[in-house]
Amino acid sequence: MKVFTNVKDLGDLNAALKEAFEIKKNRFGYKQLGTNKTVMLVFFNSSLRTRLSSQKAAMNLGMNTIVLDVNQGAWRLETERGVVMDGDKSEHLLEAIPVMGCYCDVIGVRSFARFENKQDDYTEKILNQFIRYSNRPVFSMEGATTHPLQAFADLITIEEYKTKARPKVVLTWAPHPRALPQAVPNSFADFMNEADVEFVITHPEGYELAPQFVRGARIEYHQDKAFEGADFIYAKNWSPFRDDIYGKVVNRDMSWTVDSRKMALTNDAFFMHCLPVRRNMIVTDDVIESPKSIVIPEAANREISCQTILKRMLESLS
């Protein structure tokens, strides 16, 4: 595996899940693969889970890890070609990326949507430069449009907790004070559309996700109706994809917060969220603290999703 940015990069999804469960049972069994190999984790944005789970996954595989927080201690990076660099940016990404590639075998990149230019975001301008110029396998640790390590961990978690062959999985929008990227819901839809689940997306009008991620999923604008009979509720805020309101907060309707009344409409559903979560905006205290909340095992599976990707990338080196 040379690139991991979306579900298609995994190939056969059932085979990927099988591999993930084998790793989970024997997470130190592949230590020889990473001996004397180095992964570089490049963060343009903050992280708790991705940073820690990626380092842990690398350690399980016997790898060394270098973490670079681009905005803390590195030269400020110019990302636009053709710019006269007479401002506060001392280094261009076009030199920085191949230099980073000299010091490692695999690179992970976190670079969120900037909401300055929709086309730049949706062409993954930063992440794709790493793929093009680093000469190393590259995995997304959340790009501008996708968060595949999260969605793979979400699918692993659904597989572990499902009690029927084809569960109903509902992705619901919920309110948030700030404009958040669409990466998590995009990837969740990307994976659920390939998984053996009944997939429903519910959100207020204007919050439609990009068609390439929604594909054939059922859209239900009435949240209560979407929740009926659900086996998994996956809550997330995102800002609009639509051109005229792209990346803006246009709705803070607190009636979309996931609470116990709504959970009672479901088939005793499990509650999921990628974290970090704003309590009593996205979800009430009682729901996230309930026995049906699986946000912690979901986060724990981030180690397994990342280890599966790193293992495949290491295998591609030899």
Following CA atoms 216, 221, 225, 230 in sequence, which dihedral angle do they give, to the nearest 10 degrees? 50
User: Is the C-alpha dihedral spanning 226, 231, 235, 240 positive or negative?
Assistant: negative
- The count of chain residues that interact with ligand CP, using the rule CB under 6 A, is 9
Residue with Cβ nearer ligand CP (49 or 168): 49
Q: How far is the CB of 310 from ligand CP (least distance, A)?
A: 16
Residue 19 corresponds to which tokens in the numbers above? Answer: 């591999």
Span near ligand CP by CB under 6 A; candidates 25-33, 126-134, 160-168, 272-280 = 272-280
Nearer to ligand CP, 265 or 300 (CB): 300
- What secondary structure, in 3-state letters, does 18-47 show? HHHHHHHHCCCCCHHHHCCCEEEEEECCCC
Please give the residues from 93 up to 152 whose contact with ligand CP meets the rule CB under 6 A: 142, 150
Measured from the CB atom, the residue of 30 and 188 that comes closer to ligand CP is 188
The answer to the question of residue 273 lying near ligand CP (CB under 6 A) is no
Contact characters 44-63, ligand CP, x per CB under 6 A: ---xxxx-------------
* 305 lies in the site for ligand CP, by CB under 6 A: no
187 lies in the binding site for ligand CP (CB under 6 A)? no
Q: Report the residue number, 214 or 306, with the smaller CB distance to ligand CP.
A: 306
Residue whose CB is less far from ligand CP, 142 or 303: 142
Q: Is 274 in the site for ligand CP (CB under 6 A)?
A: yes
203 binds ligand CP (CB under 6 A): no
Binding residue for ligand CP, selected from 275, 277, 281, 300, defined by CB under 6 A: 275
Tell me the residue nearest to ligand CP as measured from the CB: 50
Q: Between 60 and 146, name the residue whose CB sits nearer to ligand CP.
A: 146
Residue 264 binding ligand CP, by CB under 6 A: no
Residues that bind ligand CP (CB under 6 A): 47-50, 142, 150, 274-276
